[in-house]
Amino acid sequence: MNDKISIIVPIYNSQETLDRCINSIINQSYRNIEIILINDGSQDNSKNKCKDFQKQDDRIILINKENTGVSDCRNIGIKESTGTYIVFVDSDDYIEQDYIYNIYEEIKKSNCKVAFCGMIESNINKNKYKNVNYLDTKKVLDFNDYIDDFINTTHFSMVWKGIYKKETVESIKFDVKLKYGEDLLFLFNVLSNNRVLYFPYCGYHYVNNENSTLNDINVIKANQYIENNIYVFNEIRKKYPEKKVIIEKRLLTKLNITLSRLAKSKISIFEFSKNAKMLREKICYKHIIINQIKNESKVNKVKLKTIKNGHFYTYYMLNKLIKIIK
């Protein structure tokens, strides 16, 4: 008999996307699944929607709890799961009908306990879709094979892009203290001890939410984002001290992500410059050579140079201009 697969879905105020998400899971061609819906104290109609779905499908387990965040939800989901394998799906995303079947077949054919695939990145507001893959061919990777990419790209920072043997994750917790970077730290702890099968299949629809927590940013959130990422990368540096320079470069690019969004908010140019300087001082940046940073566009490298050199008024205006052009 095929193995049972537990699909864990944290939910918080997701009434607008919940039908699409849960229907895509219920209608999977692979039928031996349990669907663990964890309602994280939603204030909208999400709880009632979950109850309705539970009445329709006896594979659904609904857990209602006070709002404690996505990390706690995933920890509870792992603990309550009874499947041999675990898959994560976010409540604003959705999956293709054969997604579970395909990733299960791939991991079963390998000797790996973790398998990763690509994704379809969607921007619903702009009606844009693109396939995103890390590799063009199937390959089994040791952590040392891709640690640079683990640090330098977002491809290994998303916990929902794959399938995990439960035994590989049940002793590892998502850090509930982190609001940002919790996926990356969790995956570091999983992948640094396991080989991973990567195969170029795109069946997970990642919906880029322009109203997400980080996109809806302010100075407090920006500060928390940088401090959380410093903590995460310091944890990685403890195990791989030789990656110190790469980690520092990545923190500078994280700062660019933060400041880009902050500059596009309603903050004044004076307040932006003051806080940008404060945030920059939290990381090591003075010795970084911008042209040696990989996987960044020419525009981003210009922005990184303005950050490094402290030209925050220029940076602010550049981002405002980019926002107008887009």
Q: Where are the domains of the chain?
A: 5-207, 219-325
Q: What is the mean pLDDT of residues 160-177?
A: 96
CATH topology of domain 5-207: Spore Coat Polysaccharide Biosynthesis Protein SpsA; Chain A (3.90.550)
Q: Could you report the per-residue pLDDT of 266-280, keeping only the tens digit for each?
A: 999 999 999 999 999
pTM of the model: 0.92
Q: Could you report the per-residue pLDDT of 92-139, keeping only the tens digit for each?
A: 999 999 999 999 999 999 989 999 999 999 876 656 789 999 999 999
- How many whole angstroms separate alpha carbon 289 and alpha carbon 218? 29
Between the CA atoms of 208, 213, 219 and 220, what dihedral angle is there, to the nearest 10 degrees?
-150
Helix axes 143-152, 244-263, angle to 10 degrees: 30
Q: What is the mean pLDDT of residues 156-180?
A: 95
User: Exposed, middle or buried: residue 313 (CB in 10 Å: 0-12, 13-18, 19+)?
Assistant: middle
What are the backbone dihedrals phi and psi of residue 261, each rounded to the nearest 5 degrees, phi first? -75, -35
**Residue 166 scores a pLDDT above 60:** yes
Between the CA atoms of 235, 236, 240 and 241, what dihedral angle is there, to the nearest 10 degrees?
-60
